[in-house]
Amino acid sequence: MHAHLGDRLVVESSTTGVVRRDGEIVGLHHEDGTPPYDVRWSDTENVTLMFPGPDAHIQHLESEEAGTADGTSPPVTGEQPATAPGTPNPGDIGRRVAVERRRRGLSREETARRARISPQYLAYVEEQPADPTTATLLALAGALDTTASALRGAGADRPPGQGHALPHPQLSDLGPEECRQLLSTHGVGRVAVTTPGGRPAVVPVNYEVVDEAIVFRTQPGSVPAAAAGNEVAFEVDHVDEALSRGWSVLAVGPASTVTEPDAVRELARRAHTETWAGGTRDVWVSIRPTHLTGKRITPADRRTHR
């Protein structure tokens, strides 16, 4: 018996063929895919070490869509394009899992421990077009403090804030240290500027936090470039649509263009991502926050509503 991460272990009655139990293989103990396996059972969602008996068989990921000439499933690890072995080729779920894990500063080992899966299986989910079971996706969502629907990408094209409000919301202020911590998760924020024509504008930019300064790349003469030489506002937020909660941080301070060559090279070296807008964007703008404020919406303490 040989299995791959993500395959299903099915235990059937030897006389009737009725499925008595099945689960997703989330951990291998041998490189050749031989038993034992760590199995997340679909009926209990618990993970146990399993030594399959004669009444068990492996259902490979493609077994429902393709088979060999003798009717058995080929030993593959999913619907994967013809890429070299070990080449990362993540699906949408894997990309979202990896992004959320890095956003929270978690290693694969810690995330796997929290989700009760093997680090090897988590690597498979992140690097291949995997289709985890609902139970595994819920476990990963819990480990990453997000939702299964968010990992699936539900509502990705829908503007945030259309969900139901909390029955008893609590709006609280964030202290400067928590604001800095939330702001330090690089991503996309919005900078509010006054354009050369005197009109106000708010534009999204990919940003980094370097030595407590908010920095972003742009083009000469662009709207974001108008921030340089002025006091501007910069906002970043996160909304959990499924749980109707979220936070926002507002930074206010003077902006300037980074011109020193060594500083420009260092910023380019430390940049985590390319700008989504593409093109040549070699003007770096730095904002030094002098005021940091933030808000968070969470459910109110139940004890206050008894």
Total length of the chain? 306
Report CA 300 to chain centroid distance, whole Å: 27
What SS3 class is residue 152? helix
- Is residue 297 within 8 A of residue 243, CB to CB? The reply is no
Any idea which residue has 């009717």 for tokens? 71
What are the C-alpha distances in Å from 221 to residues 194, 216, 226, 258? 13, 15, 7, 15
Query: Of 252, 244, 249, which is closest to residue 295 (Cα–Cα)?
Result: 249
Amino acid (one-letter) located at 140: L
In whole angstroms, give the CA distance from residue 199 to residue 27: 57
Amino acid (one-letter) located at 168: H
Phi/psi of residue 42, each to 5°? -70, -25
Amino acid (one-letter) located at 43: D
CATH 2.40.50.100 at 169-299, yes or no: no
Q: Which two tokens stand for residue 34?
A: 């031989």
- Is residue 285 within 8 A of residue 267, CB to CB? The reply is no
- Is residue 175 within 8 A of residue 188, CB to CB? The reply is no
Helices (H), 107-191: 108-115, 119-127, 134-143, 148-152, 176-183
Amino acid (one-letter) located at 271: A
Element spanning 240, H or E: strand 231-240
Which residues share a beta bridge with 194?
200
In whole angstroms, give the CA distance from residue 208 to residue 236: 12
- Is residue 248 within 8 A of residue 235, CB to CB? The reply is yes
Consecutive 10-residue runs of the chain (306 residues): their mean pLDDT? 86 74 88 89 83 86 42 34 48 86 88 90 87 87 86 66 69 92 83 88 90 89 90 89 79 92 81 66 89 89 49
Within a 10 A sphere around the Cβ of 119, how many other Cβ atoms? 15
Q: Which two tokens stand for residue 92?
A: 């949408």
- Is residue 248 within 8 A of residue 236, CB to CB? The reply is yes
Q: Where are the domains of the chain?
A: 92-152, 169-299
- Is residue 140 within 8 A of residue 115, CB to CB? The reply is yes
Residues 92-152, CATH architecture: Orthogonal Bundle (1.10)
140-146 LR contacts (CB < 8 Å, sep 24+): 140/97, 140/111, 140/115, 142/114, 142/115, 143/106, 143/111, 143/114, 143/115, 144/97, 144/100, 144/101, 144/104, 144/106, 144/111, 145/104, 146/100, 146/240
Sign of the C-alpha dihedral computed for residues 276, 277, 282 and 284 taken in this order = negative
- Is residue 120 within 8 A of residue 28, CB to CB? The reply is yes
Helices (H), 207-282: 261-270
What SS3 class is residue 132? coil
